[in-house]
Structure 1
Amino acid sequence: MTVRILLCDDHAVVRAGLLALLGSAPDIEVVGEAGSGEEAVAMAAKLKPDVVLMDLQLGSGIDGAEATRRITAARRTRGTRVHVLVLTTYDTDADVTRAIEAGATGYLLKAERPEELFAAIHSAAQGRTTLSPPVASRVMDRMRGAARPTLTDREQDILGQLARGLGNREIARALFISEATVKTHLGRIYAKLGVDTRAGAVAVAKEQRLLP
């Protein structure tokens, strides 16, 4: 059975590479390309592919997780069989959680080998879950109730200010410390939460109830 694919990535070069790669598989057909989340949602409704190959970071507009949520919501209401397979470079807890909660059937990293991608596409088309090994490990750790990270009082203070949307300079003024100190604490917070962005830190902190 040939699996019909819709590609969604905001980088034209990446889409071209995926198009060439998937074109080498006789049982996979790319029926469309989307450069944004909004475009992917519209094209998924129109083309009704078997699988949407979805990146997470899509520049301006909605991101891949929100696009996934809209596509899977439409699948439930319209009775279509479109599945979303996330293909991304991001594997933080926050990214994985948002994608899975949005309804993604699988979560694959772009570092995987082509044959792994082909297998994941066929699994997704049949509604079966495929996770890259690092992602699967994160999910298992969460299911086993991995201990929540322990933050110092100062890190809690900075995280709280971060959640309010304050920048480094504003946080420094609010807590009467230097910007350099704020940056140092942020680095430690990111490491403990397994993220590399401010938004990721806030998302994980909310998810693990680390905020007051």
Structure 2
Amino acid sequence: MRIIVVDDHPLVRNGLRAILAKEEGIELVGEAESIQEGKALIERAKPDVAVVDIRLGGESGYDLVKAMRHQPCAFMMLTSSSSETDIRLAQESGADGYVLKEAPPEELLLAIKMIGKGRKYFDQSLLGTLLRKDPDDPLEKLTPKEREVLGALGEGLSNGAMARKLVISEYTVKKHVSRIFQKLNLNDRTQAALFAQAQGIGSYSLRDKLEGGSV
């Protein structure tokens, strides 16, 4: 996977360079400090993923994303900002991910790999807040049965346990789970469980997962 970094802070670029150099299958093919340099680098290097700071001196990294969305390149915003406004701007600009600079290296690498495979990744610590503050109630997108399945996901139940609780087949459970992911733009069961918690549904926790709870 070919990666470029667009950030105006040398220390950040040096840190990313060190992290990426240790990961097999990832190649850092260029660095840039401004939007103009970033555009030229994307056109020249043809990266799979561009890691972009949202503030590039007096410029906005979102402008780079908007200008280069026509390129076969995914964009991950890497920033120290956890504001709701910046997260929403990232979504509106077409960014594929949003990760805080304080994230551990393993999370950064996970995000890059997921985004490189065509998936979305938004920092898990921000997911609940973002969804909870959505001006349009996301639960309105779900049918009554899908809400029940979401609640079961929030409890960390397996497909089999959900089928027994809701008195439906496991096949039907899988169909509901797939539709929930699609309607709420979620990637996996963990995100669905976190979303359910943010909405006050279910009682799943990461501790349950670490102790062997079903997700």
TM-score strictly above 0.5: yes
**Residue 68 of structure 1: how far off its partner (Å):** 1.1
For structure 1, the residue ranges without an aligned partner over 5 or more in a row are 76-80, 147-212
Q: Does residue 1:67 correspond to 2:67, yes or no?
A: no
- Out of 111, 124, 140, the position equivalent to 2:131 is 140
Residue of structure 2 equivalent to 1:42: 40
The 2-side partners of 1:108 and 1:95 are apart by 11
Equivalent position amino acid for 2:67 in 1: R
For structure 2, the residue ranges without an aligned partner over 5 or more in a row are 138-215
Residue of structure 1 equivalent to 2:17: 19
Residue of structure 2 equivalent to 1:103: 94
1:79-121 deviations in Å (ceiling 9; x for gaps): xx20001111012111111111111001111111111111110
Equivalent position amino acid for 1:128 in 2: R
**Residue 36 of structure 1: how far off its partner (Å):** 0.9
Q: Aligned residues: percent identity? A: 34
Q: What are the equivalent positions in structure 2 for 1:88-99 lying under 5 Å apart? A: 88-99=79-90
Equivalent position amino acid for 2:2 in 1: R
Check the 8 A contact 1:107/1:135 in 2, yes or no: no
The 2-side partners of 1:124 and 1:43 are apart by 19
With the length of structure 2 as denominator, give the TM-score of the two structures: 0.60
Q: What are the equivalent positions in structure 2 for 1:113-192 lying under 5 Å apart? A: 113-143=104-134, 145=136
The 2-side partners of 1:42 and 1:127 are apart by 23
Q: Does residue 1:28 correspond to 2:13, yes or no?
A: no
1:140-184 deviations in Å (ceiling 9; x for gaps): 1133747xxxxxxxxxxxxxxxxxxxxxxxxxxxxxxxxxxxxxx
The 2-side partners of 1:38 and 1:89 are apart by 22
Residue of structure 2 equivalent to 1:85: 76
Equivalent position amino acid for 2:131 in 1: M
The 2-side partners of 1:44 and 1:28 are apart by 16
Check the 8 A contact 1:106/1:120 in 2, yes or no: yes
SS of equivalent residue, structure 2 residue 31: strand
The 1-side partners of 2:14 and 2:61 are apart by 19
**Residue 29 of structure 1: how far off its partner (Å):** 0.5
The 2-side partners of 1:21 and 1:117 are apart by 9
SS of equivalent residue, structure 2 residue 133: helix
Give the superposed CA RMSD: 1.5
1:39-84 deviations in Å (ceiling 9; x for gaps): 1122111111000001111103x31111111121x22xxxxx2000
The 2-side partners of 1:103 and 1:38 are apart by 19
SS of equivalent residue, structure 1 residue 143: coil
